[in-house]
Structure 1
Amino acid sequence: MSDLVPYSGDRLTQARAFAGLGDEALRVRAITAARDKACAELWALTMACVTSDTSAGVRLSPHTLRAYRKGVEVLLDHAREHGWNLLRPGRREPALYVAALTSSGLKPATVQARVAAASALYRALRWAGATDADPFRDVKRPKDRTKSIVKNPPYRADFVQALLAEADPQERALLLLMAHAGLRIAEALAVEWAHVDLGRRRLLVAHGKGDKARVVPLSARLREALEALRAERPLPHSGKIVKFSAYSTAYARLQKLALKCGREHEFRGFHAGRKYAGTQLYAAVKDFTRVAGFLGHEQVDTTRRYVELPEDDLGDAVEGFR
């Protein structure tokens, strides 16, 4: 999109720029942006709303923000093409939008993300007083009948070991923070030396998803990787463990590492690393509740989507049935 430009300043500063306007000034600004379908302005408005008027606020993850931004862009493209009045959309238009997304071949999860972004945009327009419309509230969203553990299973042990063998100290620490400590990529990139207690073999995740903190144990191999990394750093050991902090940089580094191993076709991003950790832990403790705490899940049902169970795991249990 030619008119989608990066905003200036941090998110809180931008939120204040909108929230600090008088009611009428904010309403007029939002109405004008909706009339013109001005992507940069509507994205800025959405950012201001989700930053100041949602429970996640400034802690909303970069991944979610990227998904929202893309979703706003896609919706506005569709609205321009089909002559939507954003403030008064036709009663059947939102369902047709979802149908168009589905028929384009997008996966159900991607369609759901696009609808979530559209809902966030309309929440922002209501927040600004530009409309009362909530057109996606009752729209049916496609469901994916394939389990996520089947679509995106954990990495295999031989793949993880191959990456670790070729990784530099930074990459090795990042890999093990996900594959052994079960951290999300945003959590792994945010870990600071002050959060690491090698003596007590644990790590503090200071700001997990939803801004919830948790403590996770450190495996022997992860402790070795952190000790080796710390030995390279001058005293005092402070700041972040992983020097590159951007999601895109981390992705490119690990993708290049997989290419170096000749296994680039097996690289599927970061979540498969967390699933590797969850699957290993469940195999050891056989307790979804404990694995949920380790991964930072509020609901055990979420954890079940992260653990790959062996197909014959009930064989021994039923062997002695009478």
Structure 2
Amino acid sequence: MQGSPTGHARRSTSVPWPSSRREVSMEIIDRYRRALKRRNCSLHTVKNYMNIVGHFTGWLKVPPAEVTRRDMAAYVDRLLRKGLKPKTITCHLQAIRLFFDYLIDEEGIRMDNPVTRVSIRLPKPLPRHLKDDQIGVLFAVITDPRDRAMFMLMLRCGLRVEEVARLTVDAIDCRRRQIFVFNGKGGKDRVVYLSEDARTALEAYLKRRSSKAKGLFLVQKGPMKGSPISVRGIQKRIEHYARKSRVKVSCHQLRHTMATQLLNADAALVTIQDLLGHGQITTTQRYCRVADLKVQRDYYKAIEVVLQRTQIHGKDDFEPPEKRVKENMV
């Protein structure tokens, strides 16, 4: 990176930064919002990034054009003290890095991106999935038609909680057993397929749902009744059922379970990648490490072939080579 010998980002030398930092920051942040929309970022991503950048610029004691890597390290330390997890901090850094890229590329600020090479090491835990008996115990207590349909779509279709919250009635095709997921993570569209039990749960909910609202899953009580349920609202429902069933589970864990079950059933990795909406197959490959049944089955299938080709004799059947040589000399 170009800059001072100490590794600090170079100060801006071209575009002057006005004295009213708060006012200018708000103007630039608003333009940054529009830039994110031009990049076709999802509404969820735009909202999340704007919250992060707003929090960051509110913390700054210098104009953004004068931020250094040392400032960024101090900000990471602050997030750690607040108890944020490494994965969440990485999301913060990604949003802020993109913000500085915007300042450099579109606002004409001459500086080095201070977030370059600033990172936090992420642990790589294995995706956790539910066992078959846990699935039965959990869904035995989910009797509400809306909730049963929501969580069945996560378990059988691999939908993310944000995708379930954004589903519309028009995206559902029960006759063809398909769901169209528009503007998923990374702005990608995809088609997922309904299992028979997922379609049954969804049809049971649709028969009971009398609203003409565009959103599929709606709030059922309180002042927000009839409006689309939020991500947090869905998460609260799974937390309720986790306590009721005593099964430790999250929305994302249902998605992990679907991937692991498909892999154990010999589904191709690229098929699972498409169904989950993963941009990189390396993300999907992490499920290979937890699909114990498939590993066991593949091992026994392969080892049978090996045993047919290479027989190892028992101790009584083994004849030392030197004995065979002596016999041949007689």
Give the structure-1-normalised TM-score. 0.72
In structure 2, relative to structure 1, the CA distance for the partners of 1:129 and 1:154 (3 Å cut) is same
User: Within the alignment, does 1:212 sit opposite 2:194 as a pair?
Assistant: no
Q: What SS does the aligned partner of 2:265 have?
A: helix
Q: Partners of 2:135 and 2:47 in 1: how far apart?
A: 27
1:273-296 C-alpha deviation (Å, 9 max, x unpaired)? 211111111112341011111112
Tell me the residue number matched to 1:199.
Answer: 175
Q: Partners of 1:207 and 1:290 in 2: how far apart?
A: 19
Tell me the residue number matched to 2:130.
Answer: 155
Tell me the residue number matched to 1:183.
Answer: 159
Q: Which runs of 5+ in 2 are unaligned?
A: 1-14, 219-227, 311-330
TM superposition shift of 1:310: 0.9
More displaced stretch, 85-94 vs 174-183: 85-94
Where in structure 2 are the equivalents of 1:110-189 lying within 5 Å?
Answer: 110-126=88-104, 129=107, 131-144=109-122, 146-148=123-125, 150=126, 152-167=127-142, 168-189=144-165
TM superposition shift of 1:174: 0.6
Q: What SS does the aligned partner of 1:305 have?
A: helix
Q: Partners of 1:247 and 1:282 in 2: how far apart?
A: 28
Q: What SS does the aligned partner of 1:285 have?
A: coil
Where in structure 2 are the equivalents of 1:264-279 lying within 5 Å?
Answer: 266-268=248-250, 270-279=251-260
Q: Partners of 1:123 and 1:32 in 2: how far apart?
A: 22
Please tell me the residue identity of whatever aligns with 1:250: I
Rg larger in structure = 2
TM superposition shift of 1:39: 7.4
Please tell me whether the aligned partners of residues 157 and 193 of structure 2 are also in contact (alpha carbons under 8 angstroms): yes
Tell me the residue number matched to 2:277.
Answer: 296
Please tell me whether the aligned partners of residues 154 and 272 of structure 1 are also in contact (alpha carbons under 8 angstroms): yes
Q: Partners of 2:202 and 2:88 in 1: how far apart?
A: 36
> What percent identity do the matched residue pairs reach?
25
Q: Partners of 1:120 and 1:86 in 2: how far apart?
A: 13
1:185-219 C-alpha deviation (Å, 9 max, x unpaired)? 22222333333232322222233333333222211
Pairs aligned (count): 279
Give the structure-2-normalised TM-score. 0.71
TM superposition shift of 1:224: 0.8
TM superposition shift of 1:163: 3.2
Please tell me whether the aligned partners of residues 49 and 127 of structure 1 are also in contact (alpha carbons under 8 angstroms): no
Tell me the residue number matched to 2:239.
Answer: 255
More displaced stretch, 172-181 vs 301-310: 301-310
Q: What SS does the aligned partner of 2:107 have?
A: coil
Please tell me whether the aligned partners of residues 93 and 115 of structure 2 are also in contact (alpha carbons under 8 angstroms): no
TM superposition shift of 1:171: 0.6
Q: Partners of 1:255 and 1:104 in 2: how far apart?
A: 24
Tell me the residue number matched to 2:262.
Answer: 281
TM superposition shift of 1:50: 1.2
In structure 2, relative to structure 1, the CA distance for the partners of 1:103 and 1:206 (3 Å cut) is closer
Q: What SS does the aligned partner of 2:192 have?
A: strand
Q: Partners of 1:86 and 1:108 in 2: how far apart?
A: 24
In structure 2, relative to structure 1, the CA distance for the partners of 1:156 and 1:38 (3 Å cut) is farther
1:89-119 C-alpha deviation (Å, 9 max, x unpaired)? 2354334544665677643322211211212
Where in structure 2 are the equivalents of 1:15-94 lying within 5 Å?
Answer: 31=18, 35-36=21-22, 43-52=29-38, 54=39, 56-57=40-41, 60-62=42-44, 64-65=45-46, 67-76=48-57, 78-80=59-61, 84-90=62-68, 92-94=70-72
In structure 2, relative to structure 1, the CA distance for the partners of 1:306 and 1:51 (3 Å cut) is farther
Aligned Cα RMSD in Å?
Answer: 3.3
Q: Which runs of 5+ in 1 are unaligned?
A: 1-26
Q: Partners of 1:171 and 1:31 in 2: how far apart?
A: 52
Where in structure 2 are the equivalents of 1:101-116 lying within 5 Å?
Answer: 101=79, 106-116=84-94
Please tell me the residue identity of whatever aligns with 1:50: L
Please tell me whether the aligned partners of residues 65 and 111 of structure 2 are also in contact (alpha carbons under 8 angstroms): yes
Q: What SS does the aligned partner of 2:180 have?
A: strand
Please tell me whether the aligned partners of residues 209 and 296 of structure 1 are also in contact (alpha carbons under 8 angstroms): yes
